[in-house]
Amino acid sequence: MSEIFNFKSFEVSAETKEAAVAQVEKENFHINGDATQAWKKFHEKNAKVTSNDEKEFKLEYLKKKTKNAPGSGFIVTLSSAVVSTRERPWKVVDIKTEGKRDTQKKFDLVDHDTKEVLKTLKSERVKNEKAGEPILDKDGNDTGRVEPDTKVIRPTKTAAKEMAKELIKKGFKGQIDIVQGKESIGSDPVVATVTYTPSKSTKNGRYMFFGLEF
């Protein structure tokens, strides 16, 4: 059997043939064509086929079709994909929150150019060391209320600016926008989920690829 050291053969499962090809061309080699019919005829003509026979077929096919050009390859459809036919392929679930949702301040440090969130400073609910103690007004008079079991530590704009400086010290080059917002703390911030839900008959296709890597 001939030996080519940059030869590679493997299977891919994907929703469509096009998706499988895109994945392989991004990571391995260009797909020059479809060898499915040639693969089927090879198996039809040979009652007993070993793995070595299959490898020899692939190597000969590459030699014949591409003259063993590096970066060339072919696809064989082993089983076709069945695409979803649902007009509304999603499932929506509302998430119920026990009690009142606690919304507090946050600061996002955002790359001005890419809009990527580089860092987030969040409010945090912590144990209150003064829990149970009376709450006094500004004149020192007892208000009749007591300190709760927990308290919220909120981030400040000053702290956000200091964090932005630290990111630049660590190598960030560009403009950082400090964006104030709000988010839920102390409870699940997710209020609903929307999940891709295809037809029950939907299934991925199986595709075999073989080729010569660069």
Tokens of 88: 């509304």
If you search the block for the tokens 């940059």, which residue do you land on? 6
Q: What is the pLDDT of residue 185?
A: 77
* Co-location of 50 and 102 in the same domain: no
**Nearby residues of 100 by Cβ (< 8 Å), 6 or more positions away:** none
* Co-location of 73 and 113 in the same domain: no
Tell me whether residue 130 is in a domain.
Answer: yes
* Co-location of 104 and 167 in the same domain: yes
Tell me whether residue 196 is in a domain.
Answer: no
Tokens of 108: 């996002």
Mean pLDDT by 10 residues, the chain (214 residues): 78 96 96 98 93 96 95 97 93 83 89 95 86 85 83 91 95 95 78 92 97 93
Q: What is the pLDDT of residue 4?
A: 67
The number of distinct structural domains making up the chain is 2
* Co-location of 66 and 140 in the same domain: no
Give me the domain span that covers residue 40.
7-86+201-212
d(CA 119, CA 169): 14
Q: What is the pLDDT of residue 2?
A: 52
* Co-location of 114 and 143 in the same domain: yes
* Co-location of 111 and 162 in the same domain: yes
Q: What is the pLDDT of residue 210?
A: 98
Q: For the chain, first and last CA: distance in Å?
A: 21
* Co-location of 118 and 152 in the same domain: yes
Instruction: Phi first, then psi: give them for residue 115, nearest 5 degrees.
Output: 70, 15
Q: What is the pLDDT of residue 115?
A: 96
d(CA 70, CA 214): 5
* Co-location of 144 and 178 in the same domain: yes
